[in-house]
């Protein structure tokens, strides 16, 4: 007997010739760094580009709500059921290789990385070669795809500063390669977002000529900064709000008397005011209530509207 709660498209999806694993009614708590959220009708661990092309074409044809996530380090997931498909890249999307001997490049220090490769892994492997510039990724608990999509940065550097080109797939399953100069990047923004129907599959970066000792020292400094200044040992999403021009969100929040404020099991971190931590079993409603309280209070005190840096899970476009 068919499951009445199972969406009709799921049966058809299960018939696709995929190597990737499909999971139904999968809890999303372990797929985000806040450790909160409900379940998804379907979560797919996509292991290769062939599968990704088939899935995206299927999503477009059947107009299914979907979202792509990496480590979920910049994401708020509601506690309700997600009525669609969550794409979680793995397998070949975790590739990393140097391209300094590739005849198509005239400079050294060239690295190719898959979208699902952890930022920490990218930083460690690059530094091991004595290549610098992107040591700041050691303190960002996300993936290369997410770092490009959000133009992640810290300590004066941004991902877009080192990007040479990005490979991405459209909703028809077609691959594209676009040079950095043809892409729009701003503070914590790029046009290469799943929400816009462009799924990053890999990217090529040019790193700085350095040496092992110097690069290791800078990476350790970035790591130490995170450990000293941020609540790295508590579930959070990283920075909740973007820094407004000429100021810092953390300063405005602390100046508004909100540092340490608690809403249920959610708290504005006493260590860093632009972090909201999960004290144990926080709900998405408690997180959102605290976010709104911070925005309203900062606006009342400083006439500044704090914009969200964290994304909220919502359906992406069909392309």
- Choosing among 3.30.360.10, 3.30.70.340, 3.90.550.10, 3.30.43.10, the CATH entry for 8-92 is 3.30.43.10
Non-local CB neighbours of 181 within 8 Å, separated by 6+ positions: none
Catalytic residue among 112, 239, 269, 284: 239
Beta strands in the chain (DSSP E): 21-27, 39-46, 66-69, 75-76, 82-89, 96-98, 110-114, 131-132, 153-154, 157-158, 163-169, 175-179, 185-186, 189-190, 199-206, 208-209, 262-263, 266-268, 276-278, 311-312
Tokens representing residue 203 in the block:
């990217």
Backbone angles phi, psi at 179, to 5 degrees: -65, 155
Q: pTM here?
A: 0.90
Cα–Cα distance measured from residue 74 to residue 77, given in angstroms and rounded to the nearest whole number: 10
pLDDT at residue 254 greater than cutoff 50: yes
- Do residues 24 and 45 lie in contact, with contact meaning Cβ atoms separated by under 8 Å? no
pLDDT digit string, tens, across residues 89-146: 999 999 999 986 555 555 678 999 999 999 999 999 999 999 999 999 998 889 999 9
- 194 or 206: which carries more pLDDT confidence? 206
Residues 6+ apart with CB under 8 A from 280: 265
Active-site annotation holder among 26, 167, 206, 309? 309
Quick check: do 8-92 and 231-312 share a fold?
no
Question: Does 39 qualify as catalytic in the annotation?
Answer: no
pLDDT tens, residue by residue, 29-51: 999 999 999 999 999 999 999 99
Neighbour count for residue 154 (Cβ, 10 Å): 17
Q: Does the annotation count 256 as an active-site position?
A: no
pLDDT at 154: 82
Residue 1 has pLDDT above 50, yes or no: no
Active site residue 188: yes
Q: What are the tens digits of pLDDT across the range 221-230?
A: 989 988 899 9
User: Using N-to-C axis directions, what is the helix angle for 119-128 and 212-229, rounded to 10°?
Assistant: 150
From 188, 190, 236, 286, active-site residue: 188
For 231-312, CATH gives 3.90.78.10
* Structure confidence at residue 140 (pLDDT): 87
Q: What is the pLDDT of residue 244?
A: 96
End-to-end CA distance of the chain: 35
pLDDT tier, 60 (very low <50, low <70, confident <90, very high otherwise) = very high
Q: Which residues contact 293 (CB under 8 A, 6 or more apart)?
A: 258, 261, 263
- In the block, tokens 């794409």 appear at 87
Could you tell me which CATH number the domain at 93-228 has?
Answer: 3.30.465.10
Between 316 and 215, residue with greater pLDDT: 215
Nearest Cα residue to 54 out of 4, 88, 17, 102: 17
Q: Where are the domains of the chain?
A: 8-92, 93-228, 231-312
């Amino acid at each position: 007997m068919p499951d009445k709660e199972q969406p009709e498209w799921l049966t058809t999806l299960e018939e696709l010739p995929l190597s990737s694993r499909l999971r139904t009614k999968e809890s999303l708590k372990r797929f985000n760094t806040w450790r909160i959220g409900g379940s998804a009708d379907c979560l797919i661990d996509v292991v290769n580009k062939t599968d990704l092309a088939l899935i995206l074409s299927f999503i477009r044809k059947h107009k299914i709500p979907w979202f792509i996530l990496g480590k979920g380090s910049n994401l708020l997931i509601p506690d309700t059921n997600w009525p669609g498909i969550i794409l979680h890249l793995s397998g070949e999307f975790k590739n990393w290789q140097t391209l300094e001997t590739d005849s198509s490049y005239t400079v050294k220090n060239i690295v190719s990385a898959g979208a699902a490769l952890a930022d920490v892994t990218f930083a460690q492997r690059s530094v091991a070669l004595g290549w610098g510039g992107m040591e700041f990724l050691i303190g960002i608990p996300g993936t290369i795809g997410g770092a490009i999509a959000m133009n992640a940065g810290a300590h004066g550097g941004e991902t877009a500063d080192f990007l040479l080109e990005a490979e991405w797939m459209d909703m028809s399953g077609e691959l594209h390669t676009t040079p950095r100069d043809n892409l729009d990047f701003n503070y914590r923004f790029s046009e290469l977002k799943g929400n816009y129907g462009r799924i990053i599959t890999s990217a090529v970066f040019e790193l700085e000529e350095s040496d092992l000792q110097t690069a290791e020292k800078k990476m350790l400094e970035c790591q130490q900064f995170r450990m000293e200044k941020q609540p790295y040992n508590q579930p959070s999403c990283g920075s909740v709000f973007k820094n407004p021009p000429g100021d810092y969100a953390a300063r405005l929040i602390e100046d508004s008397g909100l540092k340490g404020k608690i809403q249920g099991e959610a708290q504005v971190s006493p260590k860093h005011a632009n972090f909201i931590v999960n004290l144990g079993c926080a709900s998405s409603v408690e997180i959102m209530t605290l976010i709104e309280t911070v925005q309203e209070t900062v606006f009342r005190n400083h006439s500044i509207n704090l914009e969200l840096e964290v994304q909220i899970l919502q359906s992406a476009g069909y392309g």
